[in-house]
Structures are given as structure tokens and as C-alpha cells.
Amino acid sequence: KKTLKKKKEDFHYIIRYLYSRKFFKSSVYIGRFQFFTKKHIQIIEEAIKTSGHCVLGIVNSKNSTFSFEFQLEYIRKIFSSDVLEVHKISTGNIISLQNNSLRNFEYFFCGEDRKETYQNQLKNNPEIIMKIIDRKDDISGTKLRLSLENNDKNLFEEMSPYQFKDFFSKIKSEYIKNK
């Protein structure tokens, strides 16, 4: 006899299979995003451009600098739910994320530093195409955090999306509160 959990998993699989083949394809991008940088936004924009939609997995734990709700509030200042589906996840497991989405993942975006980890996850899912992100620019989450610690609004504006420039004080306050 199937458990309720197994029935639910079967149902999700059937729905995703039936609908996603034609209508619900997506790119996926997973990260901690402590906090969103210009580069993160560029990658999400590229993912949306590639498949028309992006599923964003925010790895969030008790040690995260920002709460999931705070991160969601800010990412929604840039992207609507029509093009960006956001999930709070505890690990960077691609298949677990796909099981919680009705989207079929077509493309997976990741940095060179995570390539090997995600290649191992995707070896049984060759239909998901990995897109490696060039990380040669000088934008980093570490520098963005330093801008908050050092009250450096200029560096903050250099590292973060322009949509966040008016929120330096609020973001800094949240960072200090959770640090």
C-alpha cells in the first residue's frame, strides 16, 4: 500500500511530466545569495532570457546572514513571480528542488567553483544542460558584505543592483541584526 507521501510524489511526477514537456520549462539557479549582487541579477536575467523562466533556490539555514523572507522581499523588487519562482531550500540539491517545482529544468546555471559538485548531481539527468558562469569580474558577495560592515555606500552601490541603492540603510541594519 502506497503512503500518502509516495502518492504525492507520484502525482507531482505525473503532473510535471504531462505539463512540463510543452509548457513549463525553466532554468534553475541555486545559491546562498548573501546578499544579491549585480552578478547574481545578471545571471538570473540570463536564465530568464534562456528559457523564459527561472527557478531560484535560496539555500537558507539558521546560519544565513539574511532571512529567506528578507531575501524574497528584495528579489521581488526586481523580478515578478511570472518569471521567477523562488524556493527556500536547505541544500543545493537540484533534483529535490525540481521535485518541489512544477517546472521541468532545462538549464542549470552555476559558477565554475561549483561545477564538479553539480555535474555529479546531473549525471543521471542528461536532459538538464549546465551553463557555467564566468566569474572573472570583480563583483562579489564578500565585498558587498564588507561594504555593509564598513558603512561604505559607494562600494555597496558598485556591488549591488541599482534597484537596491536606496535601501543601503535597511539592508545594513538587517545585516548587523543577523550577524
pTM of structure: 0.84
Alpha carbon distance 140, 35 (integer Å):
10
What residues form DSSP beta bridges with 31? Answer: 58
Q: With a cut of 80, say whether residue 21 has pLDDT above it.
A: no
Q: With a cut of 70, say whether residue 20 has pLDDT above it.
A: no
Residue type, 116: E
Give the phi and the psi of residue 3 in degrees, each rounded to 5. -75, 165
List all residues 6 or more positions away from 123 whose beta carbon is below 8 Å from its beta carbon: none
pLDDT value at residue 102: 76
Confidence of residue 22 (pLDDT cuts 50, 70, 90): low
Calculate mean pLDDT across residues 133-162.
Answer: 91
pLDDT value at residue 23: 64
DSSP 166: G
Alpha carbon distance 22, 166 (integer Å):
41
DSSP 15: H
Burial of 163 (0-12, 13-18, 19+ CB in 10 A): middle
- HSE-CB at 162 with a 13 A cutoff on CA atoms is 1
**Element holding 31 (H helix, E strand):** strand 25-31
Share of the chain above pLDDT 90, in %: 58
